[in-house]
Amino acid sequence: MKRRVAELHPFTVICLAVLTVSVATAASRWWLSCAVIALCLAIGAFAGKARELAALSGAIMLPTLLSLLMIHGLASRDSSPVIAAWGPISLTRGGVEIAMALALRTAVLVVAGLLCGLLIDKHQLVAAIDLSPAPPQAGYLLASTLFLLPQMMEKQHAIGQAQALRKAGTSRGLAGWLQRLRLRAVPLVLSSVQDAHDRSVHLAARGFPARGEHSRLRHVADSQIQRGVRWVALLCSVLVPVAILVPLGGAS
The verdict on 137 binding other proteins (CB under 8 A) reads: no
Residue 161 contacts other proteins per CB under 8 A: yes
Residue 173 touches other proteins, criterion: CB under 8 A? no
Q: Give residue 173's identity as a one-letter amino acid code.
A: G
Question: What minimum distance in Å lies between the beta carbon of 127 and other proteins?
Answer: 9
Total site size for other proteins, rule CB under 8 A: 44
Give the Cα separation of 172 and 188 in Å (integer).
Answer: 21
Judge whether 126 and 146 are in contact, CB under 8 Å: yes
Nearest distance, CB of residue 4 and other proteins, angstroms: 21
Contact 92, 76 (CB under 8 A): yes
C-alpha 99/C-alpha 30 separation (Å) is 12
Q: Is 234 exposed, middle or buried (0-12, 13-18, 19+ CB in 10 A)?
A: middle
Residue 167 interacts with other proteins (CB under 8 A): yes or no:
yes
Residues 106-125 that bind other proteins (CB under 8 A): 123
Among 28, 64, 90, 163, binds other proteins (CB under 8 A): 163
In this chain, which of 206, 224, 250, 251 binds other proteins, going by CB under 8 A? 206
Q: Under the criterion CB under 8 A, does residue 209 sit at the interface with other proteins?
A: yes
Q: How many CB atoms lie within 10 A of CB 187?
A: 16
Rounded Cα–Cα distance for residues 238 and 15 (Å): 11
Q: Which residues bind other proteins (CB under 8 A)?
A: 123, 126, 130, 143-144, 147, 151, 154, 158-159, 161-168, 183, 186-187, 191, 194-195, 198-199, 201-210, 212-219
